[in-house]
A = this chain, B = another copy of it.
Amino acid sequence: MIVVMKSMCSDEQVNHVLAFLENHGLSGHLSSGVERTIIGVLGAVGPSGTPGSIGGINPMVGEGLEGLPGVESVLRVSKPYKLASREFHPEDTVVDVPASCISEGIVHIGGSDVVMMAGPCTVESEKQLMTTAQAVREEGAVILRGGAFKPSTSPYGFRGMGEQGLKLLSKARSEFGMAIITEVMTPSDVAMVSEYADILQIGTRNMQNYMLLDEVGRTKKPVVLKRGMSATFEEWLLAAEYVLSQGNRNVILCERGIRTFEKLTRNTMDISAIPLVKQLSHLPIISDPSQGTGRRDLVGPMSLASVAAGTDGLLIEVHPNPDEALKDGAQSLTIEQFRSLVPQIQAVAVAIGRSLIME
Contacts and interface: CB of A to CB of B under 8 A. Distances in A.
Interface magnitude class on chain A: 35 or more
Contact of A60 (B43, B157, B265): B157
A186 interface: yes
Interface of A is mostly: mixed
B265 A258 contact: no
A9 B2 CA distance: 19
A131 interface: no
Given A8-B87, A232-B263, A304 B156 contact: no
Contacts of A25: none
A262 to B, nearest CB: 6
A197 to B, nearest CB: 18
A329 interface: yes
How many identical subunits does the complex contain? 4
A188 B186 CA distance: 10
A102 interface: no
Interface stretch (A92-100, A132-140, A320-328): A320-328
A104 interface: no
A248 interface: no
A33 interface: yes
Interface stretch (A109-117, A167-175, A218-226, A347-355): A347-355
A75 interface: yes
Interface string A247-279: 000000000001111111100111110111001
Nearest to A210: B151
Given A77-B38, A187-B188, A188-B188, A59 B157 contact: yes
A276 B169 CA distance: 34
Interface string A200-224: 0000011011111000000000000
26 contacts: A2-B2, A33-B40, A34-B43, A35-B78, A36-B78, A55-B154, A63-B329, A152-B210, A155-B210, A159-B210, A186-B187, A186-B212, A188-B188, A232-B261, A232-B264, A233-B264, A258-B268, A271-B271, A276-B295, A276-B298, A302-B309, A305-B308, A305-B309, A344-B351, A348-B351, A350-B351
State the 8 A-B residue pairs at the shortest beta-carbon distance, nearest first: A67-B329, A66-B330, A230-B230, A308-B308, A351-B351, A275-B301, A304-B308, A305-B305
